[in-house]
Structures are given as structure tokens and as C-alpha cells.
Amino acid sequence: MAIKLFDSLSRQPRELTPSHSDGVYRFYNCGPTVYAPAHIGNFRTFVVNDVIRRLLELEFGPDRVKHVRNLTDVDDKTIRRAREEGRPLAEVTKQWTDKFHADCAALNCLPPHIEPTATGHIREQVDMIDVLMQKGHAYRAADGSVYFKVSSFDGYGRLSRVKERELQLGSALAGKTHAADADEKEDVSDFALWKSHKPDDGDNGWDSPWGRGRPGWHIECSAMSKKHLGETIDLHTGGVDLLFPHHENEIAQSECCNGTQFSKHWYHSEHLLVDGKKMSKSLGNLYTLDELVAKGFSPMALRYALLAGHPRKQLNFTLDSLHAAESAITTLYVYFSKLVQKHGDPARALAGASPFSEVVDALKNDLNTPAALGSLFSSLNKIKPENSTPSDLHAFTRATYALGILLKAEIREEITIPREVTALAEKRWAAKQAKDWPAADALRKDIAALGWSMLDRKDGYSLEPAKKA
């Protein structure tokens, strides 16, 4: 079964297939602006993209996928933050890049193969603007800024359908335009490719054929994807807010510069809401991973909660959803441990028929993450570990890998139950199955001595910290 994913450009699900003769699938995902910690809304988008990356690797092979995700390390926000803190821009962006990497690792997101920065690709951006100037798609304003001439590109608006929505192109774009830029432009819908140096930019400027300045935001993705993935890429993704104007502008720049299709497929995931409202600093309803960890939740529970809703629908985040996610992760972990106990190393389990294979099928069907999680739990309830086959272990591991839910013993036990306690619990469970009651009683005492109690249930057990007398 091929992977099908909704394509925002053609407005329908389409199969993902590599378009280049080398068979390598080229995947570009717009990365974060590194001036503050990423919030959990940003991480919804990055976790969804991580599932796409994992699916692509399962489908085409790990060496047949090239994943590029940029870092926006120069723009109005990064420069303002550096100025407010009286620190060099590079120092501020490094701090938040490091933090972003640490959060991604905690959420078990695979690092992209290449993570280019805007400041590391000034030449490539200047070269691209140069071509756009030569081809008549861009012009230099009196102050040295360079603008893309939107009316020069017939395809403008195809992705976001600004024209079809019968909006006046100019007025639709006006709201997205910086007031300060407006005076210099020939048309209000034009957007900046190069911004001339302003006193507030401080040391943050580069020389160019049009004078000192810095690149606009949109050109960085066009230039970096071209450099690292070539003129035509297979898939370009981001959160829904990037569809317009960012991605519309990327298409205009790239297609006018290169004279060829920019991306074969576009995918946009919807926003995360908090308590029914848009997450925003002013409403004070913005969470970071650290804040949730400080409340005692594990990063894996957050990952699970972020995948619980369909990525193309808004998802309402509540702390209750994290409680439910935490207990789901524990159930998965206990089940996984039993499968491993029965069949040994998952890496050696042979593939074969198993209901758990439906989990990956659900993901391949337009990334239906809630259906995938539903299918994971319904199979888990159907197949008792003692009746499972090695193929179930294989398919279960493939499913949790695709979802990126890490069930390694070290992770769960670090956060919840110490390794020695689960080892004793597994022994006691085995003793009970063998009706070796004296051994089971002795093991219960050993577990209690470590501060835990084992609660017996019909089909298994759970572990809880022992209540203090």
C-alpha cells in the first residue's frame, strides 16, 4: 500500500513517489525561528512531520529519503530579541537552536539530514535575487530594498487561491505586509526579497549588489531547498499559517528563478489550540515542553497527545489529554515488555501477518494518526501477550516506530518505574502464571521493599508507588 497524503495545491490526497531518477525522496520542512523556546503548537507541526519522515523511510528505505529543515536565524524577531538582550545575534540564535534540538530529541523526532541556516546561505539567496532581477521579476526600491513583483508571475495565488476567493489581490496581501515596507513598493502585494539596512539592525547586515542589508524571510527557503535538494522537490510542508504568504511566495520566487516546478506536493498541518483558544503569548495560554515536564508529564505523553487528533484538523490541547496519554504510554510499555519477554529481541522478530500492521496502513492513508492509535489499542486488546506471535512483535514495533513512540525500557523507567522494579514484577507475573505462590509472595515483598506495590488484575498487573503507612 502506497503512502497517500493530502496535497494542499491540488486539494486532494495524492500518492507520494520519488520523482527523481536516483529514487531519493526530497522532503523540505520549514523549520523554527530561533529566538525563544518553541511552544507545543510548533511541536505539533514538527512531530507530524517526523511521522511523515518515518513513513517515508519505512516505504522507500532510510537511504532513499533526504530531509531538509531550515533554521530561521535572522529576521525581525531574532534581531529584536538580540537587541533587547544586548547580545550578539549568533549567540541568541545558538542558545535557542540548542534548546530546540534538546526538545526535539526528548520528543523523539529524528534530526533532519541537513539543517541549513539563513545566515549560512546569504550568497545563495543573493544569487537567486540576482536572477530574479535579471529576469524582470524583481526591482530595487529607492532605499536599496529589493521586492518581488507579484504581477510578473501568473501562477501567483494558486496554492492559497487568493484570487479564487474573489479577494482583491492587493487588499488580501496588504494585511500581511509590514507598514514600514509599503512606501517603497510599486504595488502593495509585492514582497521583500532583500531588506536594506536600518539602524535597528545593528551589526546584522551583509553586502550585496543592492547595498547593505539582509534577506527577506521567504527567499531563505527557496535558496536553501534549491541548494540541498535541487530545483524540484518532492514534498514541502509546514503549519497551515505558512501556506500564505510564505509558501505562496516561495513558489513565486523559485519558479520564476528556476523556470521549473518547485514542489510536487504540499502538506499543511493544522494548529494546536489550548483550552479551545488559539495559543498566544497575550492570552498566556502558551505551553513549552519544559513547563509540562515540570508538571510531571513525560515528553512521550506530549508526543502521544499531539498525535491523538487528525493532523489536518485543529486539535484542542488540555492537561487532561496528557493524563490520558500518560496512561496510554504506560499500557503500551507494559504490553511491549511482555511481547519482548515472550519473543526476545524485536529486531529479530520476523515479519508476517498481524493485526498490528493496520496501524502503519492507517498512517499511510493521509496520516490518519487517530485511526492509527485506535487500531493499535484495539489490536492490543484483542491479542493477549501470551497468545501473540513473533509477527505481532514485529508489527507492533514497526507501528510504534512509525508513530515515534519510544518504548525503550530506559525511557519509561527513568520517568516512572525503576528498571529493577519492573524486572521483579515480570518475574512475579511469571511465577503467578506458573502457580508458584511462594515465589510470587516473596517477589511481592521484594517489590514492596523498593517502595512499589504490584496490583494484580485479571489480565495483567500495574505498578504504583507504595502508599506510605
List contacts with Zn ion (CB under 5 A): 30, 221
Site string for ligand AMP, 193-232 (x = CB under 6 A): ----------------------------------------
Do 213 and 205 contact (CB within 8 A), yes or no? yes
Instruction: Rounding to the nearest 10 degrees, give the CA dihedral for residues 222, 227, 230, 236.
Output: -40
- 37 counts as binding ligand AMP under rule CB under 6 A: no
Rg (CA), the chain: 26
Q: Please give the residues from 143 up to 172 whose contact with ligand AMP meets the rule CB under 6 A.
A: none
Q: Nine-digit cell at 138?
A: 524583481
Distance of CA 197 to the CA centre of its chain: 33
- 440 counts as binding ligand AMP under rule CB under 6 A: no
Q: Between 26 and 44, name the residue whose CB sits nearer to ligand AMP.
A: 44
Size of the site for ligand AMP (CB under 6 A): 14
Distance, in Å, from the CA atom of 277 to the CA atom of 337, rounded to the nearest integer, reads 39
Distance, in Å, from the CA atom of 139 to the CA atom of 452, rounded to the nearest integer, reads 71
Shortest distance (Å) from residue 270 CB to Zn ion = 17
Q: What is the DSSP string of 335-390?
A: HHHHHHHHH--GGGPPP---TTHHHHHHHHBT--HHHHHHHHHHHHHHS-GGG--H
Distance, in Å, from the CA atom of 245 to the CA atom of 162, rounded to the nearest integer, reads 10
Distance, in Å, from the CA atom of 272 to the CA atom of 353, rounded to the nearest integer, reads 36
Among 143-151, 239-247, 371-379, 444-452, the segment contacting ligand AMP (CB under 6 A): 239-247
Q: Between 30 and 122, name the residue whose CB sits nearer to ligand AMP.
A: 30
- Number of Cβ within 10 Å of residue 264's Cβ equals 18
Site string for ligand AMP, 273-312 (x = CB under 6 A): ------x---------------------------------
- 242 counts as binding ligand AMP under rule CB under 6 A: yes
Shortest distance (Å) from residue 44 CB to ligand AMP = 4
In the set 18, 37, 41, 346, which binds ligand AMP (CB under 6 A)? 41
Q: Between 111 and 344, name the residue whose CB sits nearer to ligand AMP.
A: 111
Q: Between 34 and 141, name the residue whose CB sits nearer to Zn ion.
A: 34
Q: What angle do CA 58, 62, 65 make, to 5 degrees?
A: 95
Partner that binds at residue 118, options Zn ion, ligand AMP, none, CB closer than 5 to 8 Å by kind: none
- 399 counts as binding ligand AMP under rule CB under 6 A: no
- How buried is residue 170: exposed, middle or buried, by Cβ count under 10 Å (0-12/13-18/19+)? middle
Residues at the contact surface with ligand AMP, assessed by CB under 6 A: 30, 32-33, 41-42, 44-45, 238-239, 241-242, 271-272, 279
